[in-house]
Amino acid sequence: MANSDSDKFKSDDVPALPPPPPLPLPEVAVAGVVEEDFSTSLARLRNEVLQAKSITDESARDKSLLDALKNCRKFLEDAEEAKVVATRRVAAAKDVYETAAQALSGYTPLNSRIATGSGNSSNKRAKVEKMPRVSVAQLAEEATYPTNTLYLPPRYTEGGGMDEALVANFRDSFYRQLTGGVVQSTADLDSYVPPPTNANLKSNAQLKEWIYIAEHWATGVDGLDAGQFRAKHKTWYSRMKPVTYKLGRRTGIHIRETDDGTKYLCRHSKDGTKSIIYLEIGQVFDALFEMHVIELNHRGRDATKNLADERYANLPDAQIRAFLEACPSCAARRTNRTFN
């Protein structure tokens, strides 16, 4: 009988190879211990928050809640750090797998064996690695802020092919739409007070109040310590979150001062690289006029919105839509398209 393929090669025919050196693998803590520590810490934090909430004195309760919040943020930092470490360990394990698999016939790369449509983990890993490592609990007094030039829109009376009368009518029409008819002309802006609940539409006096709060947030003022001052303005804090630096949110509130001593309330841009200012209501038209009419030559909402997000902190879609609807040049183009 013919010998089978397995009989053609004897173990004695193949020279013995030395075993490969062991690959260094990241140390992994015992899962049970980590889970136990995590559960204990989580239970302690929950108990701390519940105890703080049960305090009847408002000032003492808010101070205890702020202390609990700092501890929760530290806990969150540790959890995020553990997530990054775990991600790196998974990447190292895949590396080892690829090295071993490449020695086999019929090798299929690991990535091609993962079902499509389940790439959330890799996307999240890429996002974590690309985002700068910034403390979630970084306090305002310890933060560093950008030093870029601020965009301060000039007042436009004409431009973009519009004369003074047309720009004046355009301005009045825009503020009528923006305020739902409360402001009938630009002259009414001085006496108009936007609703306090609207964080994106503020008078000059309201912005000055916000600057005052931001200036004394870390120290307190008027006989109030920092805890009492923050408790007094906790509604402002919940809206603005001045003590947190977290990219992509309305955070990192800070004050920039120009050479002439004027102070401006700012926040970080979405990528965290620039200061962008909060405009008072009287500056909104001029900022949009400069971008939409002068620089973009009446391009659409998306282009105007993208440029606005790079420069200003409080120009949402609603304001841009009101401006485009009031724009006489855009209205003329819409009319021409209707009849053509």
Give tens-digit pLDDT for 27-77.
444 444 444 577 888 888 888 888 888 898 888 888 888 888 888 888 887
Is the dihedral angle over the CA atoms 241, 244, 250, 255 positive or is it negative?
A: positive
The whole-number pLDDT of residue 284 equals 96
Residue 123 pLDDT > 50, yes or no? no
Burial of 176 (0-12, 13-18, 19+ CB in 10 A): middle
203 or 128: which carries more pLDDT confidence?
203
Kindly report the average pLDDT of the chain as a whole number.
Answer: 76
Better pLDDT: 299 or 18: 299
Please name the residue that has the structure tokens 């007070």: 193
pLDDT at 311: 94
Please state which of the ranges 126-130, 213-217, 256-260 shows the lowest mean pLDDT.
Answer: 126-130
Residue 292 pLDDT class (50, 70, 90 cuts): very high
- CB of 288 closer than 8 Å to CB of 324: no
Question: What is the structure's pLDDT at 173?
Answer: 95
Could you give the angle at the alpha carbon of 60 between the alpha carbons of 57 and 65, nearest 5°? 115
Q: Residues 183-208: what's their mean pLDDT?
A: 91
Q: How far is CA 198 from the centre of its chain?
A: 19
Reported as a single tens digit per residue, the pLDDT across 182-195 is 999 999 998 999 99
Burial 181-215, CB ≥16 within 10 A → b, else e:
eebeeeeebeeeebeeeebbbbbeebbebbbebbe
Which sign does the torsion angle of CA 91, 97, 103, 106 carry?
Answer: negative
Phi, psi of 275 (to 5 degrees): -90, 135
Q: Counting every residue, how long is the chain?
A: 340
Question: From CA 178, how far away is CA 324, in angstroms rounded?
Answer: 11
pLDDT category at 340 given cuts 50, 70, 90 is: low
Closest CA to 142 of 250, 211, 218: 218
The predicted model scores a pTM of 0.57
